[in-house]
Amino acid sequence: MLDAFGALGLGRPDGQVYAALVVAPQSTAGELAEQCGLTLQQSQEALDRLAEQGMATRAPVDRERYLAVAPDVAIGTLIGHREAELRSARAEMHRLMDAFREASRYTDPAHSVEVLTGGEAINQRLEHLVETSHYQIRGFDCPPYVMDPTAHQPRQRAKLKSGVRIRTVFDKEAIAWPGRLEQEILVGVEDGEEARVRPVLPMKMMMSDDRMAIIPISVGDSVLDAAYVIHPSALLQALDALFEAEWERAVPLQTALGGDDHGPGPESDHLKLLGLLAAGLTDESIARSLGWSARTTQRRLQGLMRELGATTRFQAGMAARERGWL
């Protein structure tokens, strides 16, 4: 236990006295000195430090006696402080590694690509990517997911408020992921994130400014617990160009869901159908995305076809474009 206290920055006399006070509340400095094998001065100084750190208090009636603050509060506070220090140290480590790679990329190309293994390491690097972005975050979002796809949304939204531009291209399966459209994606768009949809994406990726990209390593339909980190290089420039090309080809999410102001025209359900069809979603994916049953999706699709006077989806798309609905 005393070794654990030392790891939290609590000196040996202080840890001894706190542990003794937990077991024997309402003790005096003299009683604690005797229990811990300390001098009276050492015991009193330890109690003063514990009180200053919020780990001990004087008894309300007899002020010469002391009470220990509950361990989950007292020790939990120490752990919180140490975790904050470790997070700060980790962020500084990543900053220095970025500078190291930037300085060595011309002399040692091996530093341009890094392989991360383990969910915790990947998650920490994603946090670092989001927190250190200066002007933009770009991403491809598609399943399968090795971790919760919404995990970094709060941090990204905080970056939006600081002026960082966030653009994400979702594939049709990401949009159709149960509950995700309403509970996360549209919330992000309301906060200022820019979102577009493509039928298929070449990979999953998150890119910070023009200095770093993280790509989960996939094998077929499975995602390994590993990821590539791409640092400034010709490869990162190629990923930059790939994102911009896919972004230009993608359908804006507001258009896909019928969110644009088209003036007189179809009802909102029909606009949503048109947008999702244009994005390449299947009937089943549309039903999951909008929370409709398969029967409701078919009924509304047939109603849209009748309104457009079309007998095929191709005709419906052409008719909708002629009317300015797409």
Decide if 145 contacts 223 (C-beta within 8 A): yes
Q: What is the pLDDT along the chain (326 residues), one digit of tens a residue?
A: 556 677 777 777 888 899 899 999 999 999 999 989 999 999 999 999 899 888 899 988 888 999 999 988 888 888 888 888 888 888 888 788 777 766 665 556 566 888 888 888 888 888 889 988 999 999 999 888 766 666 556 667 677 778 899 999 999 888 888 778 888 888 888 888 999 988 889 889 999 998 899 998 877 667 778 899 998 888 899 999 999 999 988 888 877 675 554 444 456 777 778 778 777 778 888 888 778 888 888 888 888 888 877 888 778 777 777 766 76
The angle that helices 294-308 and 283-290 make with each other, rounded to 10 degrees, is: 110
Q: How many C-beta atoms surround the C-beta of residue 242 within 10 A?
A: 17
Q: How many CB atoms lie within 10 A of CB 246?
A: 19
Q: Which residue has the tokens 């419906």?
A: 316
Give strand pairing partners of 140.
169, 205
Q: 155: Cβ–Cβ under 8 A, 6 or more apart, which residues?
A: 127, 130, 131
What letter represents residue 288's amino acid?
A: R
pLDDT at 304: 83
Question: Cα angle vertex 105, ends 164, 115, to 5°?
Answer: 75
Across the strands, what pairs with 165?
136
Single-letter code of the amino acid located at 190: E
One-letter amino acid of 258: G
Joined together, the tokens standing for residue 14 give 């202080």
Q: How many CB atoms lie within 10 A of CB 268?
A: 11
